[in-house]
Each structure stands twice: as C-alpha cells, then as structure tokens.
Amino acid sequence: MKIPTFIPIALGLLVAAPLHAADAGDAQAGAQKNSMCKGCHGIPGYRTVFPEVYSVPKIGGQHPAYLVKALQEYKAGNRSHPTMRAIAAGLTDKDMADLAAYYGADAPKTAAK
C-alpha cells in the first residue's frame, strides 16, 4: 500500500509544532520565572542526591526548542526525574517558552584558562 506524500509531511509538521513554542518565549519574562531552575541548573558542577546522585545538566545556551520539549516530556510523565516532573507540572506552555528563551539566550559558560 502506497502512503500519500502529504501524510508524512503532515505528521512531521504535527511533531515539530510543539518545538516552535520556544520561538514565542520572552527571555525577560523567563528571567522572572527561573527561581525554581537556578537553584540547581545555575550552579556549575552541581549534583543532586534525590532520588539518587545525579549530575544536574547546565541548561544555559541550550536550544530553546529542546528545552521546551524536555519540559513538556517531564510534565507528561515521559521523563522520570521526580523533582523535574513536579516543577514542570506547574508550568504553562507560556512559562516553558519564556524559560526556554531565557536559558537559550544564555551562552554556555566555560572555565577560564
């Protein structure tokens, strides 16, 4: 059975659509919403001990679409870290886009040589 050409294209657009939510983010608004993020993600080399020892990733400079998708996955329960799931559960799509714009604009920090 041959699949019509427009079906894969339409499916691709549906999958990619949530990733473009970060485009609408407001980095200044994200700066005001990041209190729950900076306590872990703002500390270089930070490791959490709940639910197990876990190196917290640096998210500054990460692509905004990736950050939105990750937050959506935590909120949906598709990613398992309990702290991130709890935080993401309280975020709206706009909050996610704003936070992604804020952290996406932050260039990754490198150690001084």
Helix, strand and coil in the chain, % to nearest 5: 60, 5, 35
CATH number at residue 83: 1.10.760.10
Q: Is residue 29 part of a domain?
A: yes
Q: Is residue 79 part of a domain?
A: yes
Domain count, the chain: 1
Q: Is residue 35 part of a domain?
A: yes
pLDDT tens digits, one per residue of 82-92: 999 999 999 99
What is the reported pLDDT for 13? 44
* Amino acid found at 40: C
CB 25 within 8 A of CB 91: no
What is the reported pLDDT for 64? 96
Q: Is residue 43 part of a domain?
A: yes
DSSP state letter for 91: -
CB 67 within 8 A of CB 40: no
Return the sign of the alpha-carbon dihedral for residues 14, 93, 78, 38. Answer: positive
- Quote the domain boundaries for residue 93: 25-105
Q: Is residue 13 part of a domain?
A: no
pLDDT tens digits, one per residue of 26-84: 999 999 999 999 988 988 888 888 778 888 988 999 999 999 999 999 999 999 899 99
Q: Is residue 19 part of a domain?
A: no
Q: Is residue 1 part of a domain?
A: no
